[in-house]
Chain A
Amino acid sequence: MSSIIVSLKRKQIAEFIEKEKRLDGRGLLDYREIVVEPGVIERAEGSARVLLGKTEVLAGVKIGIGKPYADTPNEGVLTVNAELVPLASPTFDPGPPKENAIELARVVDRGIRESKVLDFKKLCIIPSKKVLVVFVDVYVLNHDGNLIDASALAALAALLNTKMFNYEVEGDEVKIKSDLTQLPVRKHPIAVTFAKIGDKLIVDPWLEEEQIIDARLTVTTDDDGNICAMQKGGNGYFTPKEVLKAVKTAREKAKEIRKKLKW
């Protein structure tokens, strides 16, 4: 969008937020409606479609057998990738992932990895040789703001939906059996993204808000209220007070979301 329209919009949105209101009628700390639809892709070991307002994200899980990293020979591997699919927004271009998609994938990855959603030791088949590799691919299908929270929800929902193959080890061979078991998911990390407009903090910014914000802060917390990942973005700043306020609010919001989704 041209910078003139953005600066006009900025004035309007900022004036609303100053009065504790938002253009779409939400309160400053309200999420848009969240819809989670698990198991939408039969070919994937796990999948889920998440709607956050009009933002739509599809996540798919594939599981394969691969080599472990040299520094963690007894642990399985998690790979998170994100695609900003060009049909989702006029601002997305085809081609290899650029910095926004890479940041999105890495923030989602950190939330899952650091909260220890998966027991990586249990994903080891033969130490130093063969381990299970869990691929989580996040597909953004419609961009209407706050891709981080929607993608984190979709990735977790897809993992919760994942059924993986059983296997037998015979010497160095891994035999895949036909029956399936649920992939054990131990935690439910929820990413809560704040946007700063003037000196106000809002949660779940939608596209028009996202275009005019000074800075954003994502706080991912687990079921016990521990903080497991954070990421500041945008070319503005936060004061220490705002950071602590955001962390407290993120814990409450995450709890609400978990309750709503019965996770």
Chain B
Amino acid sequence: MSQKHEKLIDKKGLRLDGRKPEELRSVQIEVGILPNADGSAYIQQGKNKILAGVYGPRELHPKHLALPDRTVLRCRYHMAPFSVQERKSPAPSRREIELSKVIRESLEPSIFLEYYPRTGIDLFIEVLQADGGTRCASITAASLALADAGIPMQDLVAACAAGKIDDIVVLDLMDTEDKIGSADVPVALMPNLNAITLLQMDGILTFEEFEKAVNLALEGCRKIHAMQKEALKTKYVNVKEVEE
């Protein structure tokens, strides 16, 4: 973590992009935008632009991976080569493989996997442009894509990160804050069950700071959850208009 920027928070207490410490970036979500997928969603959070598509439940290949008592959720988180400053090789990096795993494990608790034994659900996430907090925005979009595919779920999973910059705990870190800041705590939540399904942390935090960061992130998740529900409803409102 280099110290090129002196201050991430100015004298008025505002961040580089003019946000207050506890403010989310602007979020736009659209559900059902990929014609071929069984379910899909697109999210813009700050400059993050992320697509999620779901295929399934469908026959699983190779077949030996199938389970007799539940469906198998497979997840691929992938960043486009042009999504970051320096071109990223399209081959999956170690980071992408780890994120694919933690994203899958953040969504599995929400799905009634036992409803579709011997099948597979494939979830593909493409980060078209990255601006910090892509794993959280990916989870938010992916959960909506699963819902859009009509897969029975206990709750939508909403995700949001909190972190520490200039010794202040803030919500929803953008790229520069993530790189220069001193800690990052991504969290995913099923708000109706108060269940944390993703929790990672890197940096240095005291117990008190950690507690504050988690609570702030959970608050962010609840706000995003409200936007997810709105986005899901909007899809059907629009369908109605077309029919008339």
Contacts and interface: CB of A to CB of B under 8 A. Distances in A.
Contacts of A70: 86
B196 interface: yes
A243 B201 contact: no
Contact of B207 (A98, A227, A229, A238): A227
Contacts of A115: 204
A63 interface: no
A233 B105 contact: yes
A72 interface: yes
Contact of A3 (B68, B190, B206): B68
Interface in A97-111: 97-99, 102-103, 105-106, 110
A227 B169 CA distance: 14
Nearest to A113: B202
A122 to B, nearest CB: 16
Interface string A203-224: 0000000000001010000100
Contacts of B59: none
Given A99-B101, A227-B204, A236 B109 contact: yes
Interface string B66-84: 0111000000000000000
B210 interface: yes
B70 to A, nearest CB: 9
Interface residues of B, number: 37
A215 to B, nearest CB: 8
Interface in A107-164: 110, 113-116
Contact of B195 (A72, A225, A238): A238
Q: Which of A98, A227, A248 has the most CB of B within 10 A?
A: A227
Nearest to B85: A71
A29 interface: no
A218 to B, nearest CB: 10
B211 interface: yes
Contact of B69 (A3, A72, A215, A230): A3
Contacts of A235: 105, 108-109
A239 B102 contact: no
B2 interface: yes
A229 B201 contact: yes
A232 B139 CA distance: 15
Interface in B168-183: none
Contacts of B198: 232
Contacts of B206: 225-227
A253 interface: no
A226 B205 contact: yes
Given A3-B67, A228-B204, 7 more contacts: A113-B202, A114-B203, A229-B202, A230-B185, A231-B102, A232-B196, A240-B196
26 contacts: A99-B98, A102-B94, A103-B101, A114-B204, A222-B204, A225-B206, A226-B206, A227-B201, A228-B201, A228-B205, A229-B202, A230-B185, A230-B200, A231-B102, A231-B200, A232-B198, A233-B101, A233-B105, A235-B105, A235-B108, A236-B109, A238-B196, A240-B196, A243-B199, A243-B214, A244-B211
